[in-house]
Structure 1
């Protein structure tokens, strides 16, 4: 068994992936051993074999479809030989020092179910570190404003700049480091999510198992953000719809009873109202791409609610193909 397996899920993000793999291939560490596995979610664009030839030291797995991020992560983890798993986005660039610090932090703190680090963009600007689990008090604008007002001092104390390690509720799936034992304890990634919120879900399950989600600030990883989810209007509409769908999935998984009913009902009503108005604007100003995309989002959302009603599940129809 080696120390670390790096798992990268790719879907048509070859340009970003090339830079990511070049950085990993350049690492010649004497401090830890690692392997890299790329799971391609059936990009089917002729580039898979090219990359296998270009990066011979990296293992490539071709998935049997665009099965979603969670499925891709689990596929890579099943093939992993490492005692620890680092799930990376293809649009990240990680160096030896960052990987080493993530590994040491996880090794020295076995209650840290997930470790992540500071992420910066191409301009060295930090991404958001303060993240809270979705709930009724954070779901809608007025509720969020009240919650921020009442918790401001606590949040400032918990995330003060002098702390090297802070503990957000959840960490973005672009950089998730965990031991294989923690991965197995929580049964890996939840494949009921096709795209988005699977990172919130996995962190929630770590917390439910009395673990912690830790973010270390003494190192950073470049995250360029974007890629295959923004190829064209229809693809953009699809991914934006999946954000909405995954909210329903999350609350079905992590709420119950009356609370679940109230949240799902309010979410459905507000989304339908908002997307109906935006779709009308999209029809009136169809020549503006940013507005036109709302027509497709509205259509996708209606089809989803019809599917949820007929199948009796909030799970994304795209995900149900792989979770039955």
Structure 2
């Protein structure tokens, strides 16, 4: 089974200097690519000088995460794509358990490894942790991370299990499935496009897996910091677009209405905290959603799986019930 490790880069020469060596050292089974989103730093000349075995793919502009990968992967010939952030440190034997699963489980389309925090290696990292889920209203959370609360890795998620979404920070997908789904949604630009792609894969009968035997460390926030208003805008807008495309038809408008009320409450909280740029980002996200609604409604498949969420409201559990550990959700659900 041929695997390609594809690293999307934009002005990330410092990250490439730090993390590309570990990818090369521990990925002997793979062909390694750097897909460059029209960097203006010395990324390309650096790779050519110090890592001549790495294949460079040049995009003509900064296409973001979604379109950046969609464009670059047209030039990659492999059975499995490993889409890896430039701020990921991989570990020995990180590919083997994932390739073995793909070889043995034809209905498994997407896999993510255990993602730990590069800065605090005993903790799970925000972007994916031990596998992703969503609630009824489309709010994402992870085993090991609910909202801003990160769990310490005590072996509680040392398993292989089905999940709802895999992190875009380190995202393995069969190339055949990627092509069948037309890749990431270009309208998303960045943030939650991996959740949308996973949901679409589930809607056509595939499964998503988390495999703890594969471990990587993620810096996180290398492109947009967690508190950046643009991140707020993209997350709120893209989540609404994702719900429009993937919700079961009978639940679509009631869930969208409930979600927009919850977004409004979040906006009021931002106002109360003096975070006016984030409040404005939510307003802009909702405006963009209205503009893009009809386009994205037309993207719906003929069938949507009726069961998609793990808990009804992660907002309720976290902010009202004060539950911030994934495994504690199910003793009180």
Where on the TM-score scale, by shorter chain, does this alignment land: which range? 0.7 to 0.9
Give the aligned partner of residue 80 of structure 2. Answer: 84
Determine helix, strand or coil for the equivalent of 2:132.
Answer: coil
Give the aligned partner of residue 123 of structure 2. Answer: 125
Stretches of structure 1 lacking an aligned partner (at least 5 in a row): 142-147, 149-159, 283-293, 316-324
Q: Work out which of the residue numbers 24, 27, 32 in structure 2 matches 1:36.
A: 32
Mapping 1:47-196, distance limit 5 Å: 47-122=43-118, 123-127=121-125, 128-136=129-137, 139=139, 164-196=159-191
CA contact (8 A) 1:129 1:168 kept: no
Residues 1:132 and 1:310: Cα distance change in structure 2 (over 3 Å): closer
Q: CA deviation at 1:71?
A: 1.3
Q: CA deviation at 1:46?
A: 4.6
Residues 1:266 and 1:97: Cα distance change in structure 2 (over 3 Å): same
CA contact (8 A) 1:133 1:200 kept: no
1:298 aligns with 2:279: yes
Stretches of structure 2 lacking an aligned partner (at least 5 in a row): 147-154, 297-333
After superposition, give the CA deviation of every residue in 1:126-151 in whole Å (9 maximum; x if it has no partner).
34325323423x6599xxxxxx9xxx
Determine helix, strand or coil for the equivalent of 2:95.
Answer: helix
> 2:198 & 2:185 partners in 1: Cα distance?
11
Give the aligned partner of residue 317 of structure 2. Answer: none
Residues 1:215 and 1:277: Cα distance change in structure 2 (over 3 Å): closer
TM-score, normalising length: structure 1: 0.75
More helix by share: 1
Q: Work out which of the residue numbers 240, 247, 251 in structure 1 matches 2:243.
A: 251
> 2:5 & 2:269 partners in 1: Cα distance?
43
Residues 1:85 and 1:308: Cα distance change in structure 2 (over 3 Å): closer
Residues 1:237 and 1:108: Cα distance change in structure 2 (over 3 Å): same
Mapping 1:215-254, distance limit 5 Å: 215-230=210-225, 236-254=228-246
> 2:140 & 2:3 partners in 1: Cα distance?
40
Q: CA deviation at 1:311?
A: 5.8
CA contact (8 A) 2:240 2:289 kept: no
Q: CA RMSD in A?
A: 3.0
> 1:140 & 1:203 partners in 2: Cα distance?
13
> 1:262 & 1:131 partners in 2: Cα distance?
24
After superposition, give the CA deviation of every residue in 1:163-214 in whole Å (9 maximum; x if it has no partner).
7411111111112212222222322222221221111112112212222111
CA contact (8 A) 2:47 2:54 kept: no
Q: CA deviation at 1:87?
A: 0.9
> 1:109 & 1:120 partners in 2: Cα distance?
26
